Every structure is written in C-alpha cells, then in structure tokens.
Chain A
Amino acid sequence: MSGVQNRAPLLFLTVLIIATAGLVYELLAGAIATTVLGNSLRQYSITIGVYLFAMGVGAYLSKFIEQRIAQRFVDIELAAALIGGTQGLLLYLAYGRADAFGVLLYGTLTIIGILVGLEIPLLMRILRDDLDFKDLVAKVLTFDYLGALIGSLVFSIVLVEMLMIPLERIGILFGLLNCAVGLMSTWVLREHIYPRGRLQLRLKGLLVGGILVLALVYSTRLRIVGEQGLYPERIVHVEQSPYQRIVLTSDSSRLSLYIDGNLQFTSMDEYRYHESLVHPAMADAPAGARVLVLGGGDGLAARELLRYPDLGSVTLVDLDPAITDLARTLPGLRTLNGDALADARIEVINDDAMVWLDEARPGAIAPFDVVIVDFPDPNNFSLGKLYTRRFYRLVREVMKEDASLVVQSTSPLIARKSFWCVERTIASVGLHTVPYHVSVPSFGEWGYVMARRTHFEPPARLRADVTDGLRFLDDAMLPGLFTFPRDMAPVEVELNRLNHQVLVHYYSAEWAQVN
C-alpha cells in the first residue's frame, strides 16, 4: 500500500475543506454585494452564476496543466486561500466607489471560481494511480458536495447569525483554514512533489498565512479606510461610541461631522444653520439669561451664545461624552467652535435629555430664559422620543413664563409632514409657535420652530450688539424667514406621541423619496 493510500482520509478532508471554503467565499461575495449594491435576489443569483461558471472554466483549464501536477495543485490552493481570504476586505476597501466595486467583485469572484474549479480535477489526476478510480470519483465528489452544504449552513447560521462575526473576518478565517490545508497537502502528497518543490511550497504557504494573519489583525482599521469611500472628504477621526458612530472629515476648505452616516454640519455653511438656530430665540432674552441647550454637543450653538456679552449661563445636555470630548479636544473642531465648551459660563452634562428633564423634576432645575433644542433628525425611535408631546411637556416645565424655545425641525421642503408634525406637536402642549426656515446649502431648505407660553410676534430685529459679528443673518432679511411659500405650507398631520411615534414613520417615508 502506498503512503498516499494510508493518508486517504486526510485527502478527503482536504476536499471537504476546499469545498466549504469555496462556498463561503461565494456567499460572502453575495452578502457584501447585497449590502453595497442592494437588491439581494439579483446579487445572489449573479454571484452564484458567475462563480459556478468560473469553476467550469477552471475545470476546463485543468487539462493544460501537464507537469508537476501536485505542486501546481498546492500553488492553486494557496492562491485561493490568499485571494478568497482577502476578498471581503478588498471589497470593503472599495466600498463607496460603485464603479470599482463591481469590477473588483466580479474579478475576484471569477479568479476564485477558476482556482477552486481547477482543484478537484487536478486532485483526481494526482490520485488516479494511488486509489481505485471508481471509488475515488465517488468519494471526492461526495465530499465536495458535502463541503458545500457545511459551508452554507456554517456561514449563515453559525458565523453570521449566532456569532455575528464581521463578514470580512469570516473570509480571512476561511483563507487561513484553506492555507493550512495547502500546507498539509505538501505532506500528504509528498511522494508526488520533489523535495525542493516541497520546501518552496511551504515557504509560500507561510507567507500567505502571514499575510492573512496581518489582515485579520488590521481588518477593523482597514475597513475604516474602506469607509472613507462613503465620504467626499478625508476622514480625520472615526469613533464608535456606545451611542453612535462619529466620523469627522476634512479637506483644505472644510470640516464636516457625520453621525451614523448622516451629515450633522459642514464648516462651509454651518454658520447659516447655527446663527438661525440661536439668534431669533435670543432676540428678546434678558440680560444674564439662563440658557438650556439640549443636544448640540459639537459646541457650535454654544459658540453663537457666547457672542452675547451679558450671557448668564449655559447648561448643555448631550447624550454622548464622545462628542463633547471631541468638541473640547479635536483642534479643527475647537477652532470652529471657538473652544466654546472651555468657557466658564458653560456647564456640560452627559445624559439623555429626556431622562434628565424627567428625573430632575419636580422643580429641581431652575427654569430657563431660553431653551435651544438641537437633536439629530428623528430617524429612529430613540431620537423620535425627543420630538414627542411628552418631551415638549417636560421642556415646558423648565421654561420661565416669558422664555423662548427653539427646535431644529428638519426640512419643511423635503420632509413637509415631518416639519409640521413637529410644529403641531409643540403647539399641542399649550405653547404658541412661530415656525421659520432658512437655506443651508449642504442641507437644503431647513426649518425651525420657535415657541413661547404666551402669544408672540416673530422677532423684528436681532440684538444690536451681536449683529456685527454675524455672517448670515441681519435685520433686513428676518421677516422673510417667517413666511412659508406654497410648497412648504402647513399640511394635515397627526401629533407625535411616545406610544405612537408618527414622526419616525413620516420622516423615513419622506426622506426615502430623496435618498
């Protein structure tokens, strides 16, 4: 009996693992294609078709390999390990570049398919003389298909659903497994490979393994590089806080902040947004005003407040310490907010604004002259709750009798129902409202709602001592902000309540139309 015959079980294990890994590469490509290009049915059918076709091409090409078949076989295995293993990562690197992504996806998929397609015919030819052919064909194909079954089950149920391993890591892990099998083959098939060839193959194997281990270690960092593709400017800071994903980008002319992929501001025109948020509400504020800012951890609203020489104090409540820390430490952001959060008049509290207002009752918080509400748009329920009747009732309780409230209220043009839903909901808790809007190029037409406990007229002029420093607002343009053209005029809406957050539904429907 030859040595190879003795090691037959190991050979079949090799077949099994090749097949499992091959299927995982294919599924991975399908899954990533779906996340980037959408339309899962089409992505899966195309990736599967392309892959199977490439395997056929590989099987055909196998007939052109005539010498040192075993050595070539191991070479091919290692190549499949390298390309298959890093494919997921490569695809993430091409994230956001739709043209390059398609080429890379189908390119790597075809190469991997060809490599995997070469493997089985070659292996059968290697073993033709060692094992009974009838038996060989039966067993090799059995293990091949069995491997496919295992691959599909393990991938979807165990790795993705139960262990929730990130996709790019799954690829690398299977690459490593594939590489280990390649190395094992240099021993199992040693009778078929010259000693020098064996040494060469083992060195190559170690090299491939090393690359894959490095890829595994750096996969998270590399993915961020890939994430870059989603943003128009260079990423200068990425942070995953327990609450949200924070990305800051910049180029020579601007600095931009994204939370969970949504633009929060860009330095080119954020002054338009923040001046309009703060100064109308501050127009009648008394000297020594106590101001409450809910949200606004970037310090930009605070910067506007600090223009008032007679400002009393500012209490700023933002959920995420990561944001307020950035506002205090990141040089670009500090320049932009004028280091506002370092000012002694500003107290920063990191808490959920709603819980803070609720738990501080009754009467534990001294009431404020001005309340500025600057939350991200209501695109999920934990943000949506900050736009409910319950929330505005809590806000009302900390407003002095003649206090002004202002709420950033998304775009009345793109999300008309959402905007008026916010306005109606504020009005429903017994506040008098005055809605207004401005144009912020990077956002579009943007809306705010001012409110007070008693009836009031829109402010006719801003505080004279701050107007000089402003870049956007002036007294002449004020009246125009308060009229709404027809395409932004009020519409019939329901109120937003904690137990039925219509706003989240309005908002996602309205923005889905433009995105």
Chain B
Amino acid sequence: MRLSRREMLSAILGTPLASALAACEREPETAAIAGGFVEPSMEVGHRLRDAAPRDGDFEGAPVTRTEVAIVGGGPAGLSAAWRLARAGRDFRLLELEPQCGGTSRSERDGGLRHPWGAHYITTPLSDGGPLVELLDELGALSREDARGRLGGQEELLVREPKVRLFYRGYWYPGLYPRVGASDDDLTQLARFERRMAGFAALRDGRGRRAFAIPVDASSDDPELTALDRISATEWLKREGLTSTRLHWLLDHACRDDYGLTLEHTSAWALIFYHASRMDPARDNDADVLTWPEGNGALVAHLEGAAGGRIDTGQLVTTVVPEGDGVRVDAIDWRSGKARRVRARRAIMAAPRFIARRLVRAGLPAGSADFQYGAWLVANLHLRGRPRSRGHEDAWDNVLHDSPSLGYVSATHQRGRSFGPSVWTYFMPMVDGDARAGRKRLLEPSWQDYRDAVIADLARAHAELEPQVSRVDVCRWGHGMIQPRPGFIWGPSRWAAAQPVGPIHFAHSDLSGIALFEEAFHHGVRAADEVRAALKEGPT
C-alpha cells in the first residue's frame, strides 16, 4: 500500500508539521534524487536470531589461536585492541561488518568524508589517563595556552559559528530561542545554568566529581544517584523550572544525546549531559573536537594501531568457556565458511542485546533492562549550498519545530563555505516504548524518507532540492543505549560489566550513555582486566 504524501509526512515527521507542510507548500521535486538504504547487515543479525547455527556446524572448522579474542570492532573493541597492542599482547578482533566503527562508522573514501553516526567528542578536562594518551597520538591536543592547560588543536575545535537555530522562518545564532523570550524565560535559563555550574563544581567526600566522564568516575553518593530514579521532567518541576523555552532546549539536548524526550530521560542523565562537560576551573563548557568524518577519525587511528589483527565480515555466533580458556565460533558471511578462535581470554565488545545471545555461560539477570533507541541518519549530498535567511551556515543546524535534530555539515570544519557538501541529518525515534520506535523506523520506504527529509529541510532552505544529488539513509535499529530513569544507577548495568569466567565485557552500553569516551573507558578497562588475569593465570 502506498501512503499519500500527507500520510507519509505525518508518519515520519509527526502530524502537526506534516499538516503545516501539506497546507502551504509546493511539493519538492525529488524524483531525480538518487540514493538508498545504506546500513549495517541487519539481515545477518536476523539470521543469527532466527536460525542460530549449531555446534555441529563448527566441528572440523579451521582454528585460530590467540591470547585474547575480541568480539566487535566498534570503539570499545578497538580501544581494547589498542590497549593490548600498546602492552605488546597478542589478540584477534572479529567484526561483523565489512568496516569497523559500529555506530561511529564513517565514509572516508572518495569525495567528502562524513560520519554515519558519532561526530564529536569533548576535549578531556584533565591532563592524563589513556584518553589523553590516545588523543596525543592523534596530535589532537595542545597545551600552548598561557598556563599550559589542555585544549584541542585549533583546527579540530568546532569552528565558529558552531550552532544556529531555525525558528519561525529565520536562522538565529546559538541554540536557545532568545528572540521573544520573556524576562522570566531568561531568568530561568540563567538559574538552570547556575545550577549546572554548581553540579560541575560539586565533589563528594572522596573528592570525586559529582558528574564526570566516564560515568564510572562519577560519585556514587546516594544523594546524587537518587536523581537517577526520577525523570528529568520531574526534576525540573521540583526545581520550579517551568519555562517552555528552557524545556525545549533541554528536550533537544536529551533527544540529541540520548534519543529520549525529557520525560523518559533520567534526571541524573540530564544533569550529566551538562555538568560533566563543564570545567569549573575555566567557568565554561569544554570545547568539542570534531573531524570531517566525525569519530571515524578516531576509529581509523585505533584500527591502525591494531596492525592487521582485525578480521571483518565475521559473524560471531557463540562465545563459550572451554578448558582453561574460551572458544569463539564465527561465520565468515561473505564465504559462508565457519571458523573457530581459541583464546585464553575473550572480550565481548558487542552491544548487550547481542552479547546476551552469544555468550553461553551464566550471565547475570537484567539484560532486558538494556533499552535501545532507534535512529535515522540521512546523508544528503549537495552540489552547492541552498539559500537560507538569517545567520550564517553553522556546523550544527537545528530546526526548532522538527522531530529531527537538524543537520551537521561535513565541510564546515574544513572551512569550505561554498560548493559541494554533505549534510548529516539525524532523527531519533523518541517513542515511549523503544520497540514501537524500532517498528516505526523500519516502516517507511527509502523514497518516503528521502521526501520527508527534504520536506523538513526545505522549510529552512529555499531551492534545496535542485542542490541535492543523493540521499543515503541509514536506520540504526538499536542505535543507542537509553538512560531511562533507574538504569544508570540500577543493578543491571553494574552486574553486566563483571567478567564471567574468562569472558570480559566492554561496550558503551555498560555506561548507560552512548559516548565514545564511555566505549573507550570500557575497552581499556576490559583490556586491563585481561592483562592482569593473564599475568596471574597459568601460561
């Protein structure tokens, strides 16, 4: 059944926006715009779920021996590999996709580099630790300000103008809709910011920051973790913060970082978003580091460090303790051939919803508490820049009344303000029920998505469609772990991070917050656990 344009727009963009678009807009001419779905091997994943191979399939399969088997080549798995490589350990990493990176994957070959998911990290606040080591390897940091403090290299720090907002027919600088804001709105905004600065400066009895990246470095003081049990909406109510504009701003933040609306986000996570990135010593937000291909640049560096010990296109089906080590069964899905890896230790760096199916050992309860948001990412390839009214083109371009988050421009950081570009358009499915969001994500056709994305952006850019040559769409069914109330400081997350026999776990899921830094932290932690175990254990 083919939906009418109106029905299609309202399914993807929501009814109010769809009616506004249908009522007063000429239909963009999109038929000539090429593209398609470009996404991870969902099919292969489903094959695993529906027809799990049996042990018999692997009898007599070729065996690889190694010290450590790493399952999953996203940032977590690659970080573990990096840590082991730097420590001179032997390992083998198996990744399902033809390309490493997971949700930090990017397009690097030919044309303009651009991300498919993650696009930035925050400059670390303290000078030290493995993350700083990694970023120094990349030459991403500088210590040349007058006091020798840590900062990012200028060319990697997002270039001004960083963000602009399309609001009532006009682009404005910044994210907060200041135009028309009442005194009360502005007072509440200032009060909220002061509150966050207070949280950023707060230390517990042991001197830990109340809110720090990674989550594991944050204080577990019960008074603070109690904030995880209520929703962000509830907390704002208690604080008497009622301004609609402030709520819009914070709702945008939650949708942007967590794929959740305010009412489904934990209050702790809302505060974490703001306070963990603030540097009380400098009294401002830490700067954001970005590359044209987003966090794909970090992925590429980590991959290089692994030095050829990565096999892609490997569907891991089973991870099971065996003898005094562990056995990993996998299928090379391009050839259909089975293989086995025997290792002394394994690091599971696949998301929890997959890990729970692969690992055959007594996993702790609570895997079902890991909930994931579905995400749509569309890359629009532009021949030139369409017009816009108001503030200059920025890196992050947000539309006020859109279910999407707007788009990030791949050429901004290069300094190219004219000519071809790629815009990465993000839209989380913020449904209250995560499964419903996943279902909704998969329903529309590619054409529907192409037309909806263009209709949404054409409100802010006249003559957009003639500039668009292709629209590639990626649907991330389990795009991001969601910090719903109760998850981050509940029991399941902590339990899932504990090793089970020779099997260790690493993934950003284990933080409850999908950030590169979190994935990196767990990768390094798991690698260090393994190194310690290998030193102690029998050889």
Contact = CB atoms under 8 A, between A and B. Distances in A.
The judgment on whether A and B are partners is yes
Interface of A: 154, 156-158, 160-164, 242-243, 319, 352, 354-355, 358, 380-382, 384-385, 388-390, 393, 497-501, 504
Given A164-B462, A242-B384, A382-B392, A497 B157 contact: yes
Contacts of B160: 381, 384, 498-501, 504
Given A162-B459, A381-B392, A497 B415 contact: no
B155 A498 contact: yes
B108 interface: no
Given A355-B414, A355-B416, A385-B159, A498 B25 contact: no
Interface of A is mostly: helix
Interface in B405-423: 414-419
B25 to A, nearest CB: 6
A352 B417 CA distance: 9
B161 interface: yes
A147 to B, nearest CB: 17
A242 B157 contact: no
A390 B413 CA distance: 12
- The list of the 9 closest CB pairs from A to B, nearest first, reads A161-B169, A499-B157, A164-B462, A382-B417, A390-B154, A498-B159, A501-B160, A158-B24, A354-B415
9 contacts: A154-B24, A157-B169, A161-B168, A162-B25, A352-B417, A352-B418, A354-B415, A499-B152, A499-B158
Contacts of B170: 161
B357 interface: no
Nearest to B392: A381
Interface residues of B, number: 28
A358 B414 contact: yes
Nearest to B158: A499
Given A157-B24, A164-B389, A319-B418, 11 more contacts: A161-B170, A162-B25, A162-B462, A242-B418, A242-B419, A355-B416, A381-B160, A382-B392, A499-B159, A500-B160, A501-B160
Interface string B377-396: 00000001001010010000
Contacts of B154: 388-390, 393, 497-499
A331 B18 CA distance: 54
Interface in B457-473: 459, 462
Interface string B415-435: 111110000000000000000
A371 B142 CA distance: 27
B121 to A, nearest CB: 14
Contacts of A385: 159, 415
B369 interface: no
Contacts of A156: 169
Nearest to B160: A501
B107 interface: no
B263 interface: no
Interface-central residue, A158, A358, A381, by most chain B CB under 10 Å = A381
A443 B278 CA distance: 44
Contacts of B26: 163
Interface-central residue, A154, A393, A499, by most chain B CB under 10 Å = A499
Nearest to A389: B154
B414 A381 contact: no
B415 A352 contact: yes
Contacts of B418: 242-243, 319, 352
Contact of B415 (A154, A161, A163, A358): A358
A164 B157 CA distance: 34
A380 B161 CA distance: 10
A286 B157 CA distance: 38
A287 B387 CA distance: 47
Contacts of A498: 154-155, 157, 159-160
B392 A380 contact: yes
Nearest to B24: A158
A156 B389 CA distance: 14
A243 to B, nearest CB: 6
A157 B158 CA distance: 33
A243 B417 CA distance: 9
A239 to B, nearest CB: 15
B287 interface: yes
A154 B154 CA distance: 46
Contacts of A162: 24-25, 169, 459, 462
A7 B438 CA distance: 56
Contacts of A500: 160
Contacts of B389: 161, 164
A432 B318 CA distance: 64
A381 B161 contact: yes
Nearest to B26: A163
A499 B287 contact: yes
Contacts of A243: 418
Contacts of B168: 161
